[in-house]
Structure 1
Amino acid sequence: MAIGRIFGFNYLYGNNIDFDELGNKEIDNNYSNTSVSFSPFLSYYLPCSPNSNLRFYAQIGGGIELRISDNNETTFYNSGRVDVNLKTNYPDKYFGFSLEGFVGLNYFIVDNVAINGALGCVYNKAKESKSETWILSDGTQVTSPEWKAT
């Protein structure tokens, strides 16, 4: 039997730029997010020959993920000039919960080091809320109502 946990820290950054057929910039999108996660698990190794490097196992676990920061800004261009700026707002941070169950096979190269294959099922549930703020080229600002996603 093995008891373990996974602590995760994730950072994602991206920038997408689209151009029209004349080479004018149409869209410039910048996004990033940072999250932390914690996932404990319990593995049970099925009895096998003491000389075998192959070990079958069953594993159950679960976890949580919390987004610390979320940033998403897009600029739309018309004939190369700024037309609209869009910023996505996240009033309630993303929160995710998961449960999982696996059956698998480990091939131990040396003690505590193995090549792993598994088949299983994962249940995820998450929630967040967001709204969008549009800033038009004339300075007009429009913010959408908040909506929740689960």
Structure 2
Amino acid sequence: MFNRAFTYAASTWLSVALVTISGATAMASSLRLEEPSVFAGQWQATLSATVDERQAQKLQDKPSNSCSVELLANKTLGQGAECLGAWFEHVPIGWFPDPDGLSITGHEGSRIGFFSRQRDGLYLATLKSGLIVTLERTAPDN
């Protein structure tokens, strides 16, 4: 009797462990990590507020509420890094793809911002101030 109870308890715990492991594996496989070449190119960054607060408007006007940003293939930022730096309070130096978005990094390689994927070519980041930075792929010049 004791042996049978132990077997049921062991099989229950084993089942729970297998479901947990398989769930984590399924979740990890549903998020794919894009190649850096997918992100390389010109992007439009736009700063906006969810609410028209006086303080938010003041922050929104530094230095402008829109700028062109270039993500280089070597995972560094080109033109527009200073503009993003004014919003993120640190000048971004690099970037790297994440399974669910795009991270920008500072001088020491630490993440200073994260843009979550909304759809192909559209990413959003929320600043500490509550302002939102939209990063949208611009159409290539042909």
TM-score, normalised with respect to structure 1:
0.27
TM-score, normalised with respect to structure 2:
0.29
Structure number with the higher strand fraction is 1
Greater C-alpha Rg:
1
